[in-house]
């Protein structure tokens, strides 16, 4: 308990001497094992403490340092709890060269149907589009949970009817000639915009979405505005009355 100076020297070795503040307290860890706490004056670690554990071996007279670490106090600023990368991932984070494998228990996916022989796909009359939509030829397909999650995300996002651009649109995507239908179950609610001048070109939009690039949008006629009064009146005239006509008579005689 009295080895405060020894503990301070050990704390100064893992930091800087000017960062080791006053001795705060000491508590017993076990038989002949005591931990001394010093205030941390490092501005980057406000509220932290230097903890130095000293020990005296059995039948020994010399106290030695067992461990010196920096520990957070009650008012210390701590980093947030670690979260796995996959849970931290947000839409748009995956870039060029990044890989995001789908886990085997991903609820958005379910096993596809049995594989179709390659020669069956080459037979005439085979409906390849139907085979693809049913999932034949793919190991996993979109599950019901995956479809519901995607539909809810699209409908409540910028491609849905509640976005600011949709509420101000002159018409809905369902009546727009630039919207093409999707395949599968999504075709009942969503389509894809094909207008290159629209903000949603190449994106999924709901039937009740809309924008100003609607194919049937009508241009409002330009109304002729009333001409404003001229700043300088060049058409009117003023009555000028001269009290002294001497100059006028002089100009008239010279003329």
Question: Could you tell me if 68 and 54 are in contact, meaning their C-beta atoms sit under 8 angstroms apart?
Answer: no
Binned at pLDDT 50, 70 and 90, residue 51 comes out as very high
Binned at pLDDT 50, 70 and 90, residue 227 comes out as low
Binned at pLDDT 50, 70 and 90, residue 254 comes out as low
Give the pLDDT of residue 197: 93
Span 125-129, average pLDDT: 51
More confident position, 180 or 84: 180
Give me the chain's average pLDDT, please. Answer: 83
Span 126-148, average pLDDT: 71
Q: What is the pLDDT of residues 52-79, one digit of tens each?
A: 999 998 888 899 999 999 999 888 888 8
Task: Of 44, 54, 47, 55, give the one whose Cα is nearest residue 16.
Answer: 44
Binned at pLDDT 50, 70 and 90, residue 249 comes out as low
Q: How far apart are CA 150 and CA 190, in angstroms?
A: 11
Q: What is the pLDDT of residues 162-177, one digit of tens each?
A: 999 999 999 999 999 9
More confident position, 54 or 107: 54
Sorted by sequence, the CB contacts under 8 Å of residue 97 that are 6+ apart come out as: none
Give the pLDDT of residue 125: 46
Give the pLDDT of residue 135: 61
Whether residue 242 is predicted with pLDDT greater than 80 in this model: the reply is no
Give the H or E element holding residue 155. helix 144-155
- The winner for highest mean pLDDT among 44-53, 93-102, 222-231 is 44-53
Binned at pLDDT 50, 70 and 90, residue 215 comes out as very high
Question: Could you tell me if 40 and 69 are in contact, meaning their C-beta atoms sit under 8 angstroms apart?
Answer: no
Task: Of 24, 18, 10, give the one whose Cα is nearest residue 54.
Answer: 10
Instruction: Take residue 191 and report the two structure tokens written for it.
Output: 């389509």
Whether residue 232 is predicted with pLDDT greater than 50 in this model: the reply is yes
Span 180-195, average pLDDT: 90
Q: How far apart are CA 178 and CA 216, in angstroms?
A: 10
Q: What is the pLDDT of residues 88-98, one digit of tens each?
A: 888 888 888 87
Give the H or E element holding residue 253. helix 246-254
More confident position, 26 or 102: 26
Binned at pLDDT 50, 70 and 90, residue 210 comes out as very high
Give the pLDDT of residue 175: 93
């Amino acid at each position: 308990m009295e080895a405060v100076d020894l503990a301070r020297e050990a704390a100064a070795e893992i930091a800087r001497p000017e960062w080791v503040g006053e001795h705060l307290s000491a508590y017993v860890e076990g038989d002949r094992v005591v931990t001394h706490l010093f205030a941390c004056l490092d501005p980057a670690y406000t509220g932290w403490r230097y903890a130095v554990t000293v020990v005296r071996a059995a039948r020994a007279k010399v106290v030695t340092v067992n461990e010196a670490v920096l520990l957070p106090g009650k008012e210390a600023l701590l980093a947030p709890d670690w979260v796995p990368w996959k849970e931290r991932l947000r839409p748009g984070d995956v870039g060029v060269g990044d890989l995001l494998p789908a886990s085997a228990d991903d609820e958005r996916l379910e096993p596809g149907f049995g594989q179709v022989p390659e020669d069956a796909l080459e037979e005439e009359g085979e409906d390849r589009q139907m085979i693809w939509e049913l999932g034949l030829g793919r190991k996993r397909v979109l599950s019901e949970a995956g479809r519901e999650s995607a539909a809810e995300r699209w409908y409540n996002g910028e491609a849905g009817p509640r976005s600011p651009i949709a509420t101000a649109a002159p018409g809905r995507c369902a009546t727009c000639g630039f919207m093409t239908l999707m395949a599968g179950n999504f075709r009942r609610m969503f389509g894809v915009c094909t207008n290159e001048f629209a903000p949603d070109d190449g994106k999924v939009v709901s039937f009740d979405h809309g924008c100003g690039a609607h194919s049937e949008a009508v241009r409002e006629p330009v109304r002729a505005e009333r001409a404003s009064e001229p700043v300088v009146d060049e058409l009117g005239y003023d009555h000028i009355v001269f009290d002294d006509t001497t100059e006028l008579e002089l100009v008239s005689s010279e003329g």
